[in-house]
Amino acid sequence: MSEQELEQKFNERIDRGEVIEAKDWMPERYRTQLIRMMSQHAHSEVVGMLPEGNWITRAPSLKRKAVLLAKVQDEAGHGLYIYSGTETLNISREEMLGAFLTGKAKYSSIFNYPTLTWADMGSIGWLVDGAAIVNQTALAKCSYGPYARAMVRICKEENFHHKQGYEILATLMKGTKEQREMAQESVNRFWWPALMMFGPHDAESPHSSDLLRWKVKLHSNDTLRQRFIDRTVPQAENIGITLPDPKLKFNPETKHYEHGDINWEEFYNVINGRGICNKERMKARRDAHVNGNWVREAAEAYAQKRNKLKAA
């Protein structure tokens, strides 16, 4: 079959809602777009351990410490599933990590904000994992099988993360005046960056048309952002948190919450390396890579020894 015929067959499979597997024929651009998106997702999970890892030693009780530790470990696991899923697209882990460590590949903007108080563990669980769930529940039905399947497990874990974050904030909101203020101040800082996680407005999103056509993305950036806002506003009201947007208003005709303008200048600054913590995050990951060299060398030496033994 010619390239054109193969592509036509591929598009027909996508239109029928079939799942594409690693060994199936796929257009080169489908493959490279998936590599870009999936590897950036994996990098985000790994960088995402840093802001919360910062609080493991300072969690206010043994129970909170155990829960936070488990959550941060889960994020490492998510990174590993998604790296493995991306490897099925014929790219090595080394190549992906190289693109990340040299700054060529992005990771989520949200992890370039600092975690200043214990309440930030609540805001990250509730808002950041909450946003991730909305995005990833859709990705669990995407056209690429290995990515979709990774998302099913990840979403289950993210649901637990979301609940523990909400519970931290709910507890603080039932506490002293200082604790309530701490919770509110944290949400004030994380609300807008959480909305930015969904990416630029649809009209400014260069990759969306390809990804929507191929059913990698099932909904646009703005649609998912709106879904997140509609779910989250009532949850904020339930625990007495005020979301820091004076324009937030329910429209009974559209049945959606209208919201104020997102600061896109801030978004582009953050994704282009000029956020509060970009340098710190990249340094932490580069140091971890160098410090982990001996582990990779030892694993490689062990694998070679085993192969020699098998061959003998």
Q: CA 237, CA 248: separation in Å to the nearest integer?
A: 12
The secondary element (H helix, E strand) that includes residue 265 is helix 264-269
User: CB of residue 165 vs ligand FAQ: minimum separation in angstroms?
Assistant: 9
User: CB of residue 312 vs ligand FAQ: minimum separation in angstroms?
Assistant: 45
Candidate list 48, 85, 122, 146; residue touching ligand FAQ; CB under 6 A: 48
Helices and strands of the chain, counted as H and E runs: 14, 2
Asked if 143 touches ligand FAQ (CB under 6 A), the answer is: no
Candidate list 37, 99, 168, 183; residue touching ligand FAQ; CB under 6 A: 37
Q: CA 265, CA 270: separation in Å to the nearest integer?
A: 9
User: CB of residue 142 vs ligand FAQ: minimum separation in angstroms?
Assistant: 9
Asked if 123 touches ligand FAQ (CB under 6 A), the answer is: no
User: CB of residue 216 vs ligand FAQ: minimum separation in angstroms?
Assistant: 8
Stretch that binds ligand FAQ, among 22-30, 123-131, 231-239, 246-254 (CB under 6 A): 123-131
Size of the site for ligand FAQ (CB under 6 A): 28
Q: Which is nearer to ligand FAQ, 36 or 93 (CB)?
A: 36
User: CB of residue 161 vs ligand FAQ: minimum separation in angstroms?
Assistant: 6
Asked if 208 touches ligand FAQ (CB under 6 A), the answer is: yes
| Interaction mask 177-206, ligand FAQ, x per CB under 6 A | -------------------xxxxx----xx
User: CB of residue 300 vs ligand FAQ: minimum separation in angstroms?
Assistant: 29
Burial state string for 33-70 with b = 16 or more CB within 10 A and e = fewer than 16: bbbbbbbbbbbbbbbbbbbbbbbbeebeeeebeebbee
Q: Which is nearer to ligand FAQ, 105 or 182 (CB)?
A: 105
Candidate list 20, 30, 64, 75; residue touching ligand FAQ; CB under 6 A: 75
User: CB of residue 254 vs ligand FAQ: minimum separation in angstroms?
Assistant: 22
Q: Which is nearer to ligand FAQ, 135 or 184 (CB)?
A: 135
Asked if 232 touches ligand FAQ (CB under 6 A), the answer is: no
**Taking CB positions, which residue lies at the least distance from ligand FAQ?**
48
Joined together, the tokens standing for residue 173 give 């909101």
Asked if 157 touches ligand FAQ (CB under 6 A), the answer is: no
Q: CA 124, CA 144: separation in Å to the nearest integer?
A: 28
Backbone angles phi, psi at 137, to 5 degrees: -65, -35
What DSSP designation does 26 have? -
The per-residue DSSP string of 29-62 comes to HHHHHHHHHHHHHHHHHHHTHHHHHTTGGG-SSH
Q: Closest Cα partner for 227 from 203, 276, 194?
A: 194
SS3 assignment, position 18? coil
Partners of 250 in the beta sheet? 257
The per-residue DSSP string of 277-303 comes to SHHHHHHHHHHHHHHTHHHHHHHHHHH
If you search the block for the tokens 């989250």, which residue do you land on?
A: 232
Site residues (CB under 6 A) for ligand FAQ? Answer: 36-37, 40-41, 44-45, 48, 75, 106, 108-109, 124, 128-129, 132, 135, 196-200, 205-208, 211, 221, 271
